[in-house]
Structure 1
Amino acid sequence: MPIEIESPEEYGYDKIKNNLSESSIADQTLESLNLKIPNLTLLYSEHRGSNRLRELIVGDSGLTKDDVLITTGAAGALFIIATSQLNHNDHIVVVRPNYATNLETPKAIGCEISYIDLSFDSDAIKVNTKIVSVSCPHNPTGTVMSRNTLDRLVSLTKEKGCLLLVDETYRDVHYGTQLPMAASLGDHALTVSSLSKSYGVPGIRIGWVITRNKELQTVLLATKEQMSISGSVIDEWIAEEILSRKESFLPSTTAEMTTRLEMVSKWIEKEDMLWIRPAGGVVRFPRITKDPVGGTAAFYERLLKQYETYVGPGHWFEMPDTYFRLGFGWPTRAELQAGMEAISRALRAEGI
């Protein structure tokens, strides 16, 4: 997947001054989280994930800990779902643009794929459709469907007899009313999420899939057991500590991201770009409407080589490179501002 091969950690953080390609808030440390790992027993843990962690994840959603399976990040959850539910005779409907795992794993399985571009058309569902896959808040645009749209989607997929997969990785950073977990709305609906994006701890690789469907949950567990048996005791302990105190830092995170969103909004308004104003998450997906000097390839090369600024090009999401993902949660405010100014200059080839 290009998004992984070309990721900043593969390219080298030392070559990037303003990293606007990341899709999460700033990376946290044990010290910043005020955590000291105790003398844990490093055993095979509960295969579903620790009881306390699963209870913290469902909270007051109306779901139970038995509806939750802990996975290796949201990517692990998506892989488990795709490989356990799809084969080459099946069909999947995927909203595009989308995170690469939602696109590449079904391709590797060989199933038929229909892409829906940020809208939903019931005609896309076929007799052999097994999964309808969406994300909310959406990666990379940050858009959020209305409650009415979510309810209609739940109803439609139930009627058609297919699973509804909702990637809710950015759910806890939102700029309006928070939707309920999709898994709480029907036993054919699955919620996937993680601590990577909204909490800034992608290094502990904690994600989950939630479904009230007991038979499906058993299949997903069996698939996980073939891949990793259980999760990391250390990772799950850290996740428990973070989620147990999330109310003490999520409000300040959202307030900071709201300020940064306004910075990005004011900048985009001055540029030849189009975008959809987001309602959640920490990424944006503007489209360049005026050809950069020398073309888009030259623009990206200038931006990285001359201005040491990195963004996620559109081909990461199987979209034209006139689009790019801009992450405003990971860099410092100063780096975000410098990065946006660098994009403006690189578009015009200033300083060459």
Structure 2
Amino acid sequence: MTPASRLSLLKPSPIRAITDGTPPGAIPLGLGEPTWDLPEVARKALLRQPGPCAYVPHVGLLELRRAVAAFHGATVDEVLITTGSQGALFSLFQAWVEPGTKVLMPDPGFVAYPALARMAGAEPVTYPLSKDRFRLDADALIRVLEATPEASAVILNLPSNPTGGGGDLAALKRVADACVARGILLISDEVYRDLHFGSRCPSLRDVTDRGVVTSSVSKGWGAPGLRVGWAVGDPAWLAPARVVHGYAVTGTATPAQWAALALIEHSEAILAEARAAVGERWEALAAALREELGQAVAPPDGTFYHFMALPAAAHTDPLAFCLKLRDEAKVVLIPGLAFGEGGRGHARLS
């Protein structure tokens, strides 16, 4: 049997290549997921609804849409509930990205972005982040946009996976204005925005209502296994994505949506506890790097990642270096090259 030819465009995740072979007893700093307990309010809410475990509207449970809208300062018709934020990205790409066009994305950036573009028949085109702290560089992005007339969409990630870098309001506004002027879809993946050190990264919604923000309960609320995410934005952008989402998954799991609602209703306490937990772990990591390696490191703008510089000898083959570290030292890191050529000299620690 021969699989569909379009699968030739997709490569196995390099993250899984590292983590799937993790030896027993290894220190797991690879996967990007919270490891603290699911808040009790979500556990109780999973069994909240008596009677049948029925479908809800494919756009999402109304109560959850209202809660997400309130959290983002939006209206209910600006919210689509999806199967994780990746489900939102998939639906938006399938709805708006024409085959043969190009999608701009950060380098280094989340490994799913190029795959989602290719599944839509588009070509991924990368833009660099700033050299100082891997933050949004409006000049660099706009230069790539101006050189790419075939662009159908631009994706931002603030703060960034894998780097933790964010961006300032002025840079975000310049990028938003450039995309709105061209009439192309601008998506801001803000799934890590509420895990911040110091001030919170600006949101796309702070500078325009013409784009789309995606997020989920997977990171800040500590519930990746629920697979509940959302897209918030101009209903004109969301309408075709709703059609895709409805056919792709019918709807996000009903009990998971009730649990997500409970999490968002208790956002203030849950997000504060999550930030405190990440802060404690960051301090422990920073102390270890300082004492054992003599490295002084500053916290990222957000996320629970550290994008660590690798020794020069590892730059030629970072994957081999990380595999050797995994198998011999039993420490699991993800090579920065997995996230694009711009990450070659680094590794991501979660």
Is 1:107 the equivalent of 2:118?
yes
Structure 2 partner of 1:227: 248
- Is the 8 Å Cα contact of residues 82 and 245 (structure 2) preserved in structure 1? yes
Structure 1 partner of 2:156: 134
Is 1:24 the equivalent of 2:33?
yes
Q: How does 1:74-113 map to 2 (within 5 A)?
A: 74-113=85-124
Structure 1 partner of 2:346: 323
Q: How does 1:152-231 map to 2 (within 5 A)?
A: 152-183=174-205, 185-212=207-234, 214-231=235-252
* Aligned-partner SS, 1:199: coil
**What are the ranges of 5 or more consecutive residues in structure 2 without an aligned counterpart?**
1-11, 130-136
The one-letter code of the counterpart of 1:11 is: G
The one-letter code of the counterpart of 2:247 is: Q
Structure 2 partner of 1:349: none
- Is the 8 Å Cα contact of residues 274 and 289 (structure 1) preserved in structure 2? no
Q: How does 1:243-322 map to 2 (within 5 A)?
A: 243-269=264-290, 271=293, 277-291=299-313, 296=318, 299-319=321-341, 321-322=344-345
- Is the 8 Å Cα contact of residues 137 and 279 (structure 1) preserved in structure 2? yes
Task: Go from structure 1 to structure 2 and tell me whether the alpha carbon gap of 1:316 and 1:293 turns closer, same or farther (over 3 Å shift).
Answer: closer
Provide the TM-score with structure 1 as the length reference. Answer: 0.83
Candidates 6, 21, 28, aligned match of 1:11: 21
The offset of 1:5, in angstroms, is: 3.5
Stretch of structure 1 that moved more, 55-64 or 68-77 = 55-64
- Is the 8 Å Cα contact of residues 190 and 214 (structure 2) preserved in structure 1? yes
Task: Go from structure 1 to structure 2 and tell me whether the alpha carbon gap of 1:61 and 1:246 turns closer, same or farther (over 3 Å shift).
Answer: closer
| CA displacement, residues 48-78 of structure 1 (integer Å, 9 cap, x when unaligned) | 1111111211225431121111111111111
The one-letter code of the counterpart of 1:299 is: F
Structure 2 partner of 1:332: none
Structure 2 partner of 1:343: none
| CA displacement, residues 240-299 of structure 1 (integer Å, 9 cap, x when unaligned) | 111111212221221221232233334445648797741111012122133259974553
Superposition CA RMSD, Å:
2.7
Is 1:69 the equivalent of 2:61?
no
The offset of 1:32, in angstroms, is: 8.3
* Aligned-partner SS, 1:15: coil
The offset of 1:308, in angstroms, is: 2.1
Structure 1 partner of 2:68: 57
The offset of 1:238, in angstroms, is: 0.8
Residue identity over aligned pairs, in percent, reads: 22
Task: Go from structure 1 to structure 2 and tell me whether the alpha carbon gap of 1:129 and 1:275 turns closer, same or farther (over 3 Å shift).
Answer: farther
Stretch of structure 1 that moved more, 56-65 or 86-95 = 56-65
Q: 1:93 & 1:225 partners in 2: Cα distance?
A: 26
- Is the 8 Å Cα contact of residues 135 and 168 (structure 1) preserved in structure 2? yes
Task: Go from structure 1 to structure 2 and tell me whether the alpha carbon gap of 1:221 and 1:304 turns closer, same or farther (over 3 Å shift).
Answer: same
Candidates 161, 165, 171, aligned match of 1:143: 165
- Is the 8 Å Cα contact of residues 74 and 193 (structure 1) preserved in structure 2? yes
Provide the TM-score with structure 2 as the length reference. Answer: 0.83
- Is the 8 Å Cα contact of residues 273 and 286 (structure 1) preserved in structure 2? no
Stretch of structure 1 that moved more, 105-114 or 68-77 = 105-114
